[in-house]
Amino acid sequence: MITLTINGLRASVEKGTTILEAARFLGFPIPTLCHHEGLSPYGACRLCVVEIGDGPGARLVSSCTYPAEEGLKVRTASERVIKARRMVIELLLASCPQSKVIQDIASKHNVRQQRFRQEYEDCILCGLCVRMCEEQMMAKAIGFRGRGSGRSIGTPFDIRSDVCRLCGGCMQVCPACQLRCTYTEPDKAVCGGCANLSPPCVEKEQFHDMMCYMSPCVACEIRKD
Amino acid sequence: MNAHKNKLTSIDAFMALQARLAAHNDGEIPTIVIPAGTCCQASGANLLIRVAKRELLQKKLTDRVRLRITGCHGFCAMEPSVLVEPARTFYPKINPDDMARIIEAASKGEIITELLFVDPETGRPVEKQDDIPFFRKQVRTVIGRNEKVDPIRILDYIRNNGYLSLVNVISRGDPRFVLDEVKASGLRGRGGAGFPTGQKWELFASQKNGAAKYLICNADEGDPGAYMDRSVLEGNPHSIIEGMLIGAYGTGATEGIIYVRTEYPMAIKHLNTALKQARDLGLLGKDILGTGFSFDIEIVKGAGAFVCGEETALIRSIEGHMGEPRQRPPFPIVKGLYGKPTMINNVETWANIPVTIAMGGRSFAALGTSGSSGTKIFSLVGKIKNTGLVEVPMGMTLKEVVRDIGGGPAGKAEIKAIQTGGPSGGCIPASKFDLTIDYETLKSVGSIMGSGGMIVMDSNTCMVDVAKYFMGFLKDESCGKCFTCRKGTQRMYELLEDITVGMGTPEHLIVLEELALAVKDTTMCGLGQSASNPVLSTLKYFRHEYERHIHDKRCDAFVCKQLVGAPCQAACPVDTEPWRYVALVERGDYEEAYRVIRGANPLPGVSSRVCDRKCESRCNLGAGGGEAIAIRALKRFVTDRVDASVYRPEPGKTREERVAIIGGGPAGLAAAHYLSLLGYRVTIFEAADRLGGMLTCTLPAYRLPSRIAREEIESLLNENIQIECNRALGKDMTIEDVLGKGFKAVFIATGAHESWRLNLENEHVEGVYPSIDFLKKSKMEGIELARGHVGVIGGGNSAVDAARVALRQKGVTGVSLFYRRSRDEMPAYEEEIEAALEEGVRIETLISPVKIKVRQEEIETAIKEGIELHTLVSPVKIFSEEGRVVGIECIRNRLGEVDATGRRRPVEVPGSGFSLALDTLIIAIGERPESGTFASMGLEVDRSGRIKVDPRTLRTGLEGVFAGGDLVTGPNTVIDAIAAGKKAAQVIDGYLQGREVSEPSRATLPSVFIPPATVDDSEAGVAGRAIPPAVAPDKRTKNFIEVEMALPEDHAQSEARRCLRCDLAFTREASADQ
């Protein structure tokens, strides 16, 4: 057994446990995006960063991949963690604003604005689908290609893979291609960020203090009619 | 020498071979050593080798002269080079035609002096390689072995004590010895992070995870501008093999892998050869030297992804996966390649191991500093004279590397920063060049040692562009796994791109900094964690450059195209469009050319004679190694030819507000002119009896004829302008007086008319004159103050003016000019210095006057007619007799360290004092504003007498009072004064109309399309810069006729045809759209 301290609380966990598992066991929430219980940890989205160590040696690590170590001191919501996490969310919003999952996370962390060139990408390369295909579906039909800004996910040579059984597992785990927020249909509304504004977005002329992630924004479209 | 088929089966057999080779080491036979690494071959080493071989065979010299082909020696700027041993004569930049002579001379033990390297400091040829400044300060324990061995001959390596360290280690039979030695040496990883090697090895040795343990040599060198690993791999592959063998012996590793990038074909070839030779000789493989110790090495070729230099990515790449880092822990030392313990060291670390064992850990530790021992190889590249590989002991200062070894800047521009550690490193500003090179110090200033790239940057390098370059590299080379690294580098690149194209806002800097810190914090591997360094370090040390790009939309290094437009125009303080009038001259449309010139500059005739030509210094033709377009000469051609009446600006409707201009020099005149055109009623108060300031009071007529200045000044006046001469601020009136007379705004531009003093005794005796007084007397009153032998102290334009004016006065027999630095540092315009020398001015530099002195017999004889330049001298004393100067005492100087102005500081040479007899002494060491009384009127005056203003708005602390020109900047050029006046008109207009005064200035991009001339290749090949004709020196020394004449029409046209037309990049597309 390994003993570590999370947010001042001592915990004993089995060897091989990650910080994320240990923290969740203790009830500390850590947001994740590329993490999935049934899949191997990957550490791509960096949303789950936590602070370890003390003083000048303190650093941020992804809790989903970092193994619990004897005597490790972990802070899951220090100022540094929150700041970094908010920047990760901002970057996610800048790339993939239409994702329900990302909107939910943004709303939860009160990130309402992103300051970069707006993109509308349909993939954030979290790799959930690749791992799903390989580890759960035993297919290995898709994988990563390229590096840096040229990185993408697909089948080899973009030809339909013989090993793909069209199981849909990849789509099931994808956080980026799920339905977008629909404010005027409250039962389907996700983040509710716009509804919680005062006055709500449909009644306001223009937003100066908050950027709407929607383009087109469903609420705005309705108002126009 | 044939490769030995006989495998060595015992240590004794190896020692016998070594002894035999050493005995045959014919040190006396001259050997031609030709470095032939990849870089050397690119500069032509292969041809040299072919010629040398042919020569040796044809002349049957093979017994008397040997030839050795080696890897890179490091002095890349001087490739292809030849080293002759044993004399160690170094011949740089050898032409193949000279090879025969070199071989001939080498066979006779002679030296060809004219082919030797010439020390730029002393101007003398240097015989021995080790005496060349580039090599002198280096300690070449690793790279120095390159010149001794032919990399494809193992016996060469063994002869030079190769594999001796290995044999020494094996024969002791104690792996612990290796660990102890490496630990004692204090060696740290040379790959970048600097982890103590001994500690790593000990940890690895203690791993007992199954049978297999791997050693990896990380030869995935990918930093832009770094190539030391390649040079070691190519030039001395056996040293790496030996290092790995020693490592394997010490740590119990079973297998070795050299991970090298495919882009290094020669390194791979040499490594393969070396591995085979070592195996054949029984130094590698099973049962090495019959001792039972087994270890083999294989080569894995990487596909050149930068991230594969990161150890976990490298391991995955060897395993056949994508090169993607993974979480550490577990560290590779515990769980690495194929899940087995794996130890990775950099090429240079491995190459250091045999050296460490041979020297002994303790003596290795004595090299360098206590925290960082040994030497480090750097690839010194960029804007530096001596590019190449340098190996220095840790703890040397950056200054020593840059100035002493690197030889200083490559061009005229000053070095402003050095970038270490590649894309993961940072930029260190020149102000921190006193720092020592070691892991901790570099880290403390936001950079890293990295693998050893050192990119030198000068003032023509834009730091925002540098950050953008590295970010562009990283966004392509990030593996892309971590979202914050992939997107973060892309977003940082976008932000930097916005800034470089002029779309940056202050918000950009805030976001950039926040993002950079977040990327540093949230990424998994070293690449991501250090990816922000280029941005953070430039933001830290060069924030002003970012701010210039954002607030002023200016790139002072003239790199960011969208902010520069045409460089000639961007360089001009008054925003003239030189490209435009040059093109118009080419088309023969001189009147339109005049209108273009006059539209931007109210004093075109004056400027075409005395402008300091910032446009030409930025001309792309000059920057590209050619000669800049003679823009000023073309302007002179136009202004001389076209009547000023073709440009007639109409004054706007008259306005109520009255503006006072104090000072009728170029700044005041320009301000008055533009304000009057806007309809304001302007009154110019001038202290002298005429308008023009320095133009009409001091500028000698042979440079600027009085008629030109007078006519041009008169053309600026109109009914809105009133003139009151002989009214000096502080003497005849105060600012309060002026404001009290109903003026709504005041612009003060009284210039800098007071000469600095030497503060020596006897400075006020007769015959000693400040240059301004001397020039004023001559120009305004026609009084000739100089007689006999005249000494002028100073190196600026007013010193040279004074010297040349003195020479034109009747009673003068000779003129000597004394300057405390050398001629290269003289601030005067080069062509003025040239002209002065032509006329007979003697210039003496690096001299400071010590005292002004009585006439002495022995120095009398030293005085000759004409003017001489004495450089590197400082005056220390002035001597007088009966109240009149009779001589000075000077002291000689040498150039010392570079000072804050970027010039080398003169340092007095003790005991070098000497005396000179003089009849007149003119002191021209600079001017300052006559602003003694200004402080009492409420203006803020600094120590040099300059008025403090807000540089954007020209506002002083007093409401409605503006200031500009030399009064604000200190002595400066005419064109800068005109620019200040122009700006003053703009801001005063804004102030009076209640508009926001400060508006972001931006280089105007060329917008008018003028079809380019068709120039065929034959013409383009021969065309050189046009030189305006001048009056011959003997016809001009005793009169004031204008020296320089206008270009003849055909010369002007062909000069204009040379223009590269940088404007077309902006206007051609626009015209095509229409």
For A150, which residue in chain B has the nearest alpha carbon?
Answer: B476
pLDDT of residue B483 exceeding 90, the answer is yes
What is the average pLDDT across A147-154?
A: 90
Residue A62 near chain B (CB below 8 Å): yes
Dist CA B312 CA B339 (whole Å): 11
Please say whether the beta carbons of A175 and A105 come within 8 A. Answer: no
How close A42 gets to chain B, by Cα (Å)? 8
Chain B residues with CB under 8 Å of A83 CB are 518
For B478, which residue in chain A has the nearest alpha carbon?
Answer: A148
Out of A87, A144, A149, the one facing B322 most closely (by C-beta) is A144
**Secondary structure letter of residue A67 according to DSSP:** B
CATH 3.40.50.11540 positions along chain B are 161-365
Test A62 with B524 for CB contact under 8 angstroms: yes
CATH topology of domain A2-77: Ubiquitin-like (UB roll) (3.10.20)
The pLDDT of residue B899 is 66
The pLDDT of residue B902 is 61
For B482, which residue in chain A has the nearest alpha carbon?
Answer: A44
**Which run of H or of E encompasses A10?**
strand A9-13
pLDDT of residue B3 exceeding 60, the answer is no
For A69, which residue in chain B has the nearest alpha carbon?
Answer: B329
Test B483 with A46 for CB contact under 8 angstroms: yes
Out of B507, B514, B524, the one facing A87 most closely (by C-beta) is B514
- The CATH class of the B768-928 domain is alpha beta
Please say whether the beta carbons of B289 and B8 come within 8 A. Answer: yes
The pLDDT of residue B211 is 78
CATH 3.10.20.600 positions along chain B are 375-461
Test B491 with A84 for CB contact under 8 angstroms: no
> What is the value of pTM for the model shown?
0.86
Dist CA B366 CA B354 (whole Å): 16
CATH for B565-647+1002-1074 is 1.10.1060
CATH topology of domain A128-173: Alpha-Beta Plaits (3.30.70)
pLDDT of residue A78 exceeding 80, the answer is yes
How close A146 gets to chain B, by Cα (Å)? 8
Test B483 with A91 for CB contact under 8 angstroms: yes
**Secondary structure letter of residue B438 according to DSSP:** S
Spell out the long-range contacts of B269-272 with Cβ–Cβ below 8 A and sequence spacing 24 or more.
B270/B71, B270/B151, B270/B152, B270/B233, B270/B234, B270/B237, B271/B233, B271/B237, B271/B240, B271/B299, B272/B299
CATH topology of domain B480-552: de novo design (two linked rop proteins) (1.20.1440)
Where would I find the beta strands (DSSP E) of B291-357?
296-302, 342-346
How close A214 gets to chain B, by Cα (Å)? 20
Dist CA B825 CA B906 (whole Å): 10
How close A43 gets to chain B, by Cα (Å)? 7
Please say whether the beta carbons of B638 and B646 come within 8 A. Answer: no
Chain B residues with CB under 8 Å of A127 CB are 481
Out of B478, B487, B523, the one facing A147 most closely (by C-beta) is B478
Count Cβ atoms within 10 A of the Cβ of residue A167 and give its class: 0-12 exposed, 13-18 middle, 19 or more buried: middle
Chain B residues with CB under 8 Å of A151 CB are 479-480, 486
How close B47 gets to chain A, by Cα (Å)? 40
Residue A69 near chain B (CB below 8 Å): yes
Band of pLDDT at residue B14, cut at 50, 70 and 90: very high
> Mind listing the pLDDT tens digit for each residue in B246-301?
999 999 999 999 999 999 999 999 999 999 999 999 999 999 999 999 999 999 99
Chain B residues with CB under 8 Å of A91 CB are 483-484, 487-488, 491, 515
Q: Quick one: B11-132 is in which CATH superfamily?
A: Glutaredoxin (3.40.30.10)
The pLDDT of residue B195 is 92
> Mind listing the pLDDT tens digit for each residue in B219-229?
999 888 899 99
Test B511 with A116 for CB contact under 8 angstroms: yes
CATH 1.20.1440.230 positions along chain B are 480-552
Out of B474, B475, B483, the one facing A88 most closely (by C-beta) is B483
The pLDDT of residue A137 is 92
Dist CA B472 CA B42 (whole Å): 27
> Mind listing the pLDDT tens digit for each residue in B836-869?
777 777 766 655 555 443 222 222 322 322 456 6
Test A84 with B521 for CB contact under 8 angstroms: yes
Dist CA B482 CA B310 (whole Å): 14
By three-state DSSP, how is residue B727 classified?
A: coil
Test A65 with B524 for CB contact under 8 angstroms: yes
The pLDDT of residue B607 is 93
The pair of structure tokens assigned to B927 is: 């001017």
Task: Give residue ranges of B with CB < 8 Å to any A CB.
Answer: 305, 307, 322-324, 326-327, 329-330, 474-484, 486-491, 494-495, 507, 511, 514-515, 518, 521-524
The pLDDT of residue B915 is 84
Cβ-based neighbours of B573, under 8 Å, separated by 6 or more: B614, B975, B976, B978, B979
Chain B residues with CB under 8 Å of A42 CB are 481
pLDDT of residue A179 exceeding 50, the answer is no
Band of pLDDT at residue A214, cut at 50, 70 and 90: very low
What is the average pLDDT across B1039-1066?
A: 89
How close B475 gets to chain A, by Cα (Å)? 5
CATH 3.10.20.740 positions along chain A are 2-77
- How many inter-chain contacts (A to B, CB under 8 Å) are there? 106
Chain A residues with CB under 8 Å of B303 CB are none
pLDDT of residue A212 exceeding 50, the answer is no
> Mind listing the pLDDT tens digit for each residue in B29-82?
899 999 999 989 999 999 999 999 999 999 988 888 999 999 999 999 998 999
Dist CA B229 CA B345 (whole Å): 12
Q: Apex CA B1015: angle with CA B1011 and CA B1018, to 5°?
A: 175
The pLDDT of residue B1071 is 64
Query: If you search the block for the tokens 């001309």, which residue do you land on?
Result: B619
Test B490 with A80 for CB contact under 8 angstroms: no
Q: Where are the alpha helices (DSSP H) in B666-722?
A: 666-677, 694-697, 706-716
- Indicate the average pLDDT of chain B: 88
Band of pLDDT at residue B447, cut at 50, 70 and 90: confident
3-state secondary structure B153-197: CHHHHHHCCCCHHHHHHHHHCCHHHHHHHHHHHCCECCCCCCCEH
What is the average pLDDT across B960-968?
A: 93
Test A46 with B522 for CB contact under 8 angstroms: yes
> Mind listing the pLDDT tens digit for each residue in B555-593?
999 999 999 999 999 999 999 999 999 999 999 999 999
> Mind listing the pLDDT tens digit for each residue in B498-517?
999 999 999 999 999 999 99
How close B970 gets to chain A, by Cα (Å)? 44
Band of pLDDT at residue B468, cut at 50, 70 and 90: very high
The pLDDT of residue B863 is 30
CATH topology of domain B161-365: Rossmann fold (3.40.50)
Band of pLDDT at residue B1072, cut at 50, 70 and 90: low
ipTM here: 0.86
pLDDT of residue A178 exceeding 60, the answer is no
> Mind listing the pLDDT tens digit for each residue in B866-912?
456 677 777 878 888 888 888 888 888 887 776 666 667 788 888 88
CATH for B375-461 is 3.10.20.600
DSSP structure string for B421-437: SGGGSEEEEGGGTTSB-
> Mind listing the pLDDT tens digit for each residue in B97-151?
999 999 999 998 899 999 999 988 788 899 999 999 999 999 999 999 999 999 9
Test A43 with B481 for CB contact under 8 angstroms: yes
Q: What are phi and psi of A187, to 5 degrees?
A: -70, -20
The pLDDT of residue A154 is 87
Band of pLDDT at residue B671, cut at 50, 70 and 90: very high
What percentage of residues in chain B have a pLDDT greater than 70? Answer: 94
pLDDT of residue A50 exceeding 80, the answer is yes
Out of A44, A80, A144, the one facing B521 most closely (by C-beta) is A80
Test A91 with B488 for CB contact under 8 angstroms: yes
The pair of structure tokens assigned to A137 is: 């579906």
CATH 1.10.1060 positions along chain B are 565-647+1002-1074
Within a 13 Å sphere around the CA of A145, how many CA atoms are in the beta-carbon half?
9
